Amino acid sequence: EGLRDYRADHRIDRVWETRERVVVALTGGPEGETIIRRAARIADRTAGGDLLAVHVSRSDGLAGASSGALAQQRQLVEALGGSYHVVVGDDVPTALLAFARAHHATQLVLGTSRRGRISRFLTGPGTGQTTVDASEDIDVHMVTHEFTGRGKLPSLGRRHSKRRTIAGFASGLIVPALLTAVLSQFHARLNLTTDALIFQLGVVAVALLGGAVSAVVAAVIASVLLNYFFIPPVHTLTIDETNNIVALLVFATVALTVSTVVDHAGRLTSRAARATAEAETLSTLAGSVLRGADALPALLEKSRTAFGMDSVALLDSLTGETIARSDGSGDSPAGEVTEVAVGERSVLLLTGRRLPAADQRVLTAFAAHVAAALERDRLAVVAAEVEPIKAADRMRTALLAAVSHDLRTPLAAARASVGSLRSPDVEFSPEDQAELLATADESLVKLTRLVDNLLDMSRLQAGALTLHLAPTSLEEMLVRAMDSLSDPQAPIQPLDLDTAPAVLADPPLLERVLANVITNALRHNAPGAPVLVTASHHADLVEVRVIDRGPGIAPEDRDRVFLPFQRLGDTDNTTGVGLGLALSRGLAEAMGGSLEVEDTPGGGTTMLLTLPAVSEPQTVEPGTARPERSAVQ
């Protein structure tokens, strides 16, 4: 926007050459690949050159471009690093140059005309010459190709079926004769003008049925019959009055002109109907691609129904293996087989009726959609394979960043304490020796807890952690968890644990869960406030709440606190590697429970641990193996 404003303020209305931008004009013809590659080479000659492909579509949507060829050419442009665009305009040279100037293109690449010399002589200068004449400061490259000058003369009429063509010529011969026979019966009542208008109506009817060529035949025959039977002197081709000669010439001219116009209107109507059908078909197919996971089967099914085929199969062209298939109700489809290439390694086989040329053109565009869906499925598989590797890489990166300090700190403290005690140069008092030993012991306990958490997290994620579930007392597990804390005298206030039923859990792992959750609560609790631990029984579940009065956790961060190596709210690296809550949730879910975050009324955080309750009193005999199961994360 700033550049546009600058250009407007300084009245810069020409192409602003910031860098080479090459626009290649595509018609949807067979020469497209040749001119695209030539334009790409031109764009590659300069560093940072851009390649833009543009197709000018007529505003009535009736251009004869092959949608299948355009789809393949779009894929080629994008594979070469360019961009594809479609603009609407009836005057192709004007639309091309307007697009080029809007994108500040410096060069425009077009293919030479496919029309022959006679066709160019009859229809005048083509798009290429007109574009060159109006290009001004844009360089225009005309690329020759193998299809240059191989076009056919313009067709005088519509392409009908063989039966309709024969019917058209027959009507051109019969209709004037029938009209002559009928009008001869009323010759005394009708004048020459009426006879000519009725003959003209017959010529128009022939034009609607068989096209312009049949109408020309009808007009010539009608002129001869009109002269012989209705223009004096009758029953002779001689015309006495000049007025009658003019009338006959006007009749022939009007008949030919009207028949041509009618044929052209009929041709446009037919093309409009065909274009609408093709657009609806391609829109449906494109919608299938955009809708997601089942795009490929949906595309094959819609193609089978859209083209009226018995079966559609997508095969690997190298191995012959069936990638996807859609069959109709028939048990053994048989009939014509249509083969369409899909990309470089796949082929689409349609079995059933013989497809007309117009349907095959749409099928080529459809094959491009299938290629896009196939490529997307392949990329999805690759992405799914890469995702675990990326997750593992993120885990390793976070682990290295975390343990670089958190494992070294207690290890360094323990080594320093032991090294001081072993030093022969210093004599420590019994109190100093006890303090150094306590420091070494505390550091080794922290180190052991960190290593245990890392090992358990690895086993949990690998599905290699085996659980031994048994009826377990919450009160007993809380006592063990409090004893394992670095500060056994921490302010912890248990409530109602003795009234809660036993839970089905692995005792050592439940102790770890409680210890980690309580440690996290103590770390973030308000100074002087105790951490409350309560239990309640609901149906077949026991809910344990660990309540602190800290700053709380924002709703958007409640899932993040359970991710490995997350330390939300910690301002230093002395509080652990951030595995406590992640490991606790994993262990809780492995034991059939859950661990969630709730707000504490009045401020703070409540960790809600849910575990299955033991419905009936159970006892474990000494030496009896407890139930086992593997925890798969």
The pLDDT value recorded for residue 396 is 65
- Residue 61 and residue 269 in contact, taking contact as beta carbons nearer than 8 Å: no
The pLDDT value recorded for residue 503 is 92
Give the DSSP H or E segment for 109. strand 107-111
pLDDT band at 630 (very low <50, low <70, confident <90, very high): very low
Rounded mean pLDDT, 489-504:
83
Q: Residue 155 — left, alpha, or beta (φ > 0 → left; ψ -120 to 50 → alpha)? A: beta
248 found inside a domain: yes
Q: Give yes or no for residue 614 having a pLDDT over 80.
A: yes
Percent of the chain with pLDDT over 90: 5
Q: Is the same domain home to 123 and 169?
A: no
Q: Give yes or no for residue 494 having a pLDDT over 80.
A: yes
Selected residue with higher pLDDT from 632 and 367: 367
38 found inside a domain: yes
Q: Give yes or no for residue 208 having a pLDDT over 50.
A: yes
User: Tens digits of per-residue pLDDT, 428-482?
Assistant: 888 888 888 888 888 887 778 777 777 776 666 666 677 788 999 988 898 888 8
547 found inside a domain: yes
Q: Which residues pair with 595 in a beta bridge?
A: 609
Percent of the chain with pLDDT over 70: 74
Rounded mean pLDDT, 487-495:
77
Q: Give yes or no for residue 6 having a pLDDT over 50.
A: yes
- Among all chains, which residue has been given the structure tokens 């809910």? 543
Q: Is the same domain home to 509 and 431?
A: no
In terms of residue numbers, what domain contains 57? 2-143
75 found inside a domain: yes
Longest Cα–Cα distance of the chain, Å, equals: 151
233 found inside a domain: yes
Q: Is the same domain home to 556 and 474?
A: yes
**SS3 (DSSP) at 429:** coil
Task: Give the count of alpha carbons within 13 A of 337, CB side only.
Answer: 8
Rounded mean pLDDT, 64-68:
64
Q: Is the same domain home to 580 and 443?
A: no
CA–CA separation, 493 vs 471, rounded Å?
A: 24
User: Tens digits of per-residue pLDDT, 169-204?
Assistant: 888 889 888 988 888 888 778 887 888 888 888 888
341 found inside a domain: no
Q: Which of 225, 226, 218 is nearest to 168 (CA)?
A: 218
CA–CA separation, 88 vs 597, rounded Å?
A: 57
Q: Is the same domain home to 113 and 209?
A: no
For residue 169, how far is the Cα from the chain centroid? Answer: 51
Q: Is the same domain home to 476 and 607?
A: yes
Q: Which of 24-33, 71-80, 370-379 has the lowest mean pLDDT?
A: 370-379
- Residue 64 and residue 270 in contact, taking contact as beta carbons nearer than 8 Å: no
Q: Which of 600, 442, 460, 622 is nearest to 530 (CA)?
A: 600
Q: Which of 89, 84, 88, 62 is nearest to 72 (CA)?
A: 84
Rounded mean pLDDT, 290-297:
59
The pLDDT value recorded for residue 619 is 46
112 found inside a domain: yes
Q: Name, in order, each residue with C-beta under 8 angstroms of 208's C-beta and a sequence gap of 6 or more.
A: 262, 263, 266
pLDDT band at 282 (very low <50, low <70, confident <90, very high): low
pLDDT band at 625 (very low <50, low <70, confident <90, very high): very low
User: Tens digits of per-residue pLDDT, 126-175?
Assistant: 788 888 888 888 888 988 887 776 654 444 444 555 677 788 788 888 98
CATH number, residue 91: 3.40.50.620
The pLDDT value recorded for residue 622 is 36
The rounded mean pLDDT for the chain is: 76
CATH number, residue 595: 3.30.565.10
Q: Is the same domain home to 497 and 593?
A: yes
Residue 85 burial by CB count (10 A; 0-12/13-18/19+): exposed, middle or buried?
Answer: middle
Q: Give yes or no for residue 62 having a pLDDT over 70.
A: no
Q: Is the same domain home to 6 and 93?
A: yes
- Residue 36 and residue 26 in contact, taking contact as beta carbons nearer than 8 Å: yes
In the sheet with 336-342, reading across from the earlier edge strand, the strands are 322-327, 311-316, 346-352, 336-342
The pLDDT value recorded for residue 404 is 60
Question: Tokens standing for 454?
Answer: 């890392």
User: Tens digits of per-residue pLDDT, 310-342?
Assistant: 788 888 877 778 888 878 654 444 567 888 777
The pLDDT value recorded for residue 566 is 60
For residue 313, how far is the Cα from the chain centroid? Answer: 22
pLDDT band at 399 (very low <50, low <70, confident <90, very high): low
The pLDDT value recorded for residue 197 is 84
Q: Is the same domain home to 130 and 16?
A: yes
Question: Tokens standing for 83?
Answer: 């961009």
Q: Which of 514, 540, 530, 509 is nearest to 608 (CA)?
A: 514
User: Structure pTM?
Assistant: 0.39
Which residue, 249, 267, 285, sits at the end of a domain? 267
The pLDDT value recorded for residue 632 is 38
Residues comprising the chain, all counted: 633
Q: Is the same domain home to 490 and 572?
A: yes
458 found inside a domain: no
Instruction: List the end-to-end C-alpha distance of the chain, in Å, as a whole number.
Output: 52
Give all strands (DSSP E) within 34-95, no chain letters.
Answer: 50-57, 83-88
Q: Evaluate the omega torsion of the peptide bond into residue 488 and state whether it is cis, within 30 degrees of 0.
A: no
Which residue, 244, 267, 290, sits at the end of a domain? 267
Q: What is the dihedral of CA 228, 229, 232, 233, to 10 degrees?
A: 60
Count structural domains, the chain: 4
User: Tens digits of per-residue pLDDT, 525-555?
Assistant: 888 888 899 999 888 899 999 999 888 888 8
Rounded mean pLDDT, 512-536:
88
The pLDDT value recorded for residue 612 is 93
Q: Is the same domain home to 113 and 238?
A: no
Q: Give yes or no for residue 101 having a pLDDT over 70.
A: yes
Question: Tokens standing for 617?
Answer: 């009193």
Which residue, 143, 172, 200, sits at the end of a domain? 143
User: Tens digits of per-residue pLDDT, 235-258?
Assistant: 887 777 777 777 778 777 877 777
- Among all chains, which residue has been given the structure tokens 């013809």? 29
pLDDT band at 123 (very low <50, low <70, confident <90, very high): low
- Among all chains, which residue has been given the structure tokens 């022969």? 424
Q: Is the same domain home to 250 and 137?
A: no
